[in-house]
A and B are shown apart, each in its own frame.
Chain A
């Protein structure tokens, strides 16, 4: 076990006892040393600046992280979730009583292995609530996370945040380590796929622990006919879609798996698909894959074949490589996701029909609509059918609060109500 203030070579932990011991130390810090939100925002601001170094430019999403850490981003978020009194470290009047947000204590973080920045983003949310953090880093993200945290260490001269942060890594099959981590925390932020999330939720958390679960979800995109058939804007929209498809290999909950196009007489979807193919090809040139799991290649090849062999009316566009795939056809159901930059483009008569079939699975609906009035109608319908985010195409992955319909900081604080006894 290595704390971030005596940074690695490797934060590998060997025994549950190490985690229990560290958790105890973090809880003591959380109870004894209060840290003000303004102090945290000051350190984050410095951290954002330090992350601008040339050596970190290859880290995916780093520009977003720098923006995220800015006071201009986080202060409004704190104000919305917890109000101005929290920001100033004070109590808020509530009739004859008063309220104040207190940190839960130690927050355990179980980030998913597919989003490079997720350990750090999750950590920042809990720190903003004044908590200490015990973060399990998926092994694939260890190096990137270490690079980012090294910069925090540089700017956090008094160790205010560093001493509140402990990063650990251990094999995902080590149930005893997961259990020790769960026992050591007062709250948890859990991110990931169905199996992983259900495993973590079963862990023996204290009965007072607050648990926030993010994922598993999927996302879809939709365009009205006026937008996708407009030649002047089409390529620009296609580039936005390509960006949304590209990030995270379509394995994120905010990744579009299908794009629904509302059809109108005289509009040729083949022209749209041609432009979309061009945009995907451009994205591929700019951000080529460096590696792929053979099983994903197999899955992509099978998705192409299955789609075209299923019906002679189905269409597809793809290169000889597994770099990207467009599967074109008709239908109002979300097809089985293939991921790996495989987008189903489905023609529909009415986008409302698609949305009416959504259940709680759909996290984000990416939209491109000509009419604001129509968009308002669809957003209302989407909200009623379990969608948590309705955003412009090209911004589907933009991390913000609320996420999955849940605030990011508020769930990791307790609102304490004080009714004075002098009354």
Chain B
């Protein structure tokens, strides 16, 4: 079942609005109005979701601000069957989050309309950062992760999301018989030689770019010499931080092996639960929110939005999904609000900086039972 025309028109209107040019107050008003309609629609489509919303301390119909609307913690998308607002027969694709061994991934279901909007949302945002031209696309991943599947992981979704900018796509990693991946140096060098003078787009998961491309090339003293490249990367920093690879070290390392300037290396933040929205760094190192989305950073003590300069839990908001209730999602990430307008880059609205995952605190005390008893993964007891 399609979303009502009124909602579809509202989404389209936000999708076609100036991406980062709206007055924040004006944008907030139109987002709140549309999100209220979407919440009402979701309540009508899913009784359990309605139950959740009805128990929210603020009646969403009466809410004045986006921060008062009921949000769903990201862990709720690990439910099986997945939270959905459309019948299973309408699922076009299921996106899964990246999850480490033993963790349950999130699963979000997309119908045709939501999938279309997702592509449009991502494309519009990326276009603002790299321009509209189609160009050769170097994927720092294996071909298996590019192919379309019924269930698509976060890596695959990001790779495919950028596919609309590609004239041709080359994957420079290969899977060995043991399941490990390695750099296909011949293919990479051929690509580099062929497109040395051209505008090129490259994408990979942050730690994959570092461990599978930058480190091997640095070891061999190879520079690709593609100065017109745009290197986009996303994904967690946890593994790299453990190896003392800071963002600065990473960016300089990538720029060095590609032979480009550091400002051509762009980190973006995104998650499958926040379909159609990605948050690339601007030239001032800040992340921005497009016209069809919002970010609220909440004080963990009060869950109230924080002031500029303060850190808290990130809540992402998007008007794009209508196949699952992913309008307002409280993530397990931390961020700092830089400002609510006026980034020097010229993009208007909320600007923020990602500050890592919520630290998993070792749960202390005599009330902390063996975690396996409740099959939870919230940490272990400790004397500290």
Contact = CB atoms under 8 A, between A and B. Distances in A.
Contacts of A257: 367
A312 B303 CA distance: 25
B79 A309 contact: yes
Interface string A175-191: 00000000000000001
Interface stretch (B48-56, B89-97, B226-234): B48-56
B64 to A, nearest CB: 13
A252 interface: yes
A192 B300 contact: no
Given A192-B364, A251-B364, A289-B301, A302 B369 contact: no
A59 interface: no
Given A140-B384, A295-B358, A320 B303 contact: yes
A322 B367 contact: no
Contact of B73 (A197, A301, A312, A317): A301
Given A216-B370, A251-B364, A339-B367, A308 B55 contact: yes
A219 B369 CA distance: 11
Interface string A289-308: 10111111111011011101
A197 to B, nearest CB: 7
Interface string A325-364: 0000000000011010000000000000000000001000
B303 to A, nearest CB: 5
A193 B368 contact: yes
Given A138-B383, A305-B72, A310-B48, A217 B57 contact: no
Contacts of B303: 297, 301, 320-322
Interface residues of B, number: 51
B112 interface: no
Nearest to B360: A295
Nearest to B76: A305
Nearest to A251: B365
B367 A248 contact: yes
Nearest to A194: B370
A194 B371 contact: yes
Interface in B69-111: 72-73, 75-76, 79, 83
Nearest to B366: A215
B381 interface: yes
A127 B304 CA distance: 48
A218 B55 contact: no
A255 interface: yes
B363 interface: yes
A346 B329 CA distance: 28
Given A192-B383, A319-B57, A251 B368 contact: yes
A255 B367 contact: yes
B359 interface: yes
A172 B382 contact: yes
A113 B383 contact: yes
Given A297-B303, A308-B52, A316-B55, A253 B383 contact: no
B242 interface: no
Interface residues of A, number: 67
Given A292-B300, A309-B52, A337-B367, A361 B373 contact: yes
Given A172-B383, A292-B300, A253 B52 contact: no
Contact of A294 (B47, B68, B334, B363): B334
Nearest to A118: B366
B365 A248 contact: yes
Nearest to B359: A295
A377 interface: no
Interface in A105-122: 110-115
B371 to A, nearest CB: 7
B1 interface: no
A231 to B, nearest CB: 24
B295 to A, nearest CB: 16
A112 B365 contact: yes
Interface in B325-384: 330, 332, 334, 358-371, 373-376, 378-384
A153 interface: no
A215 B367 contact: yes
A301 B373 CA distance: 21
Contacts of B365: 112-115, 192-193, 215-216, 248, 251-253
A27 interface: no
Contacts of A194: 368-371, 380-381
B40 interface: no
A409 to B, nearest CB: 19
A319 B368 CA distance: 25
B197 to A, nearest CB: 48
Nearest to B384: A172
A101 B373 CA distance: 39
Contacts of B57: 318-320
Interface in A156-180: 171-172
Nearest to A306: B76
18 contacts: A113-B383, A136-B383, A192-B365, A194-B380, A195-B368, A216-B367, A216-B370, A216-B381, A218-B367, A248-B367, A293-B361, A298-B313, A299-B378, A306-B75, A306-B76, A320-B304, A321-B302, A339-B367
Given A193-B368, A294-B334, A308-B52, 20 more contacts: A112-B365, A114-B367, A140-B384, A171-B384, A192-B366, A193-B380, A194-B371, A215-B366, A216-B365, A250-B367, A251-B365, A251-B366, A298-B332, A299-B378, A306-B76, A308-B51, A309-B51, A311-B48, A320-B68, A322-B303
Interface of B: 47-52, 55, 57-58, 68, 72-73, 75-76, 79, 83, 300-304, 312-313, 330, 332, 334, 358-371, 373-376, 378-384
**Which 9 A-B residue pairings sit nearest by Cβ, starting from the closest?**
A193-B381, A215-B366, A193-B368, A114-B365, A195-B380, A172-B384, A253-B366, A251-B365, A336-B374
Interface of A: 110-115, 136, 138-140, 171-172, 191-197, 200, 214-219, 248, 250-255, 257, 289, 291-299, 301-302, 304-306, 308-312, 314-322, 336-337, 339, 361
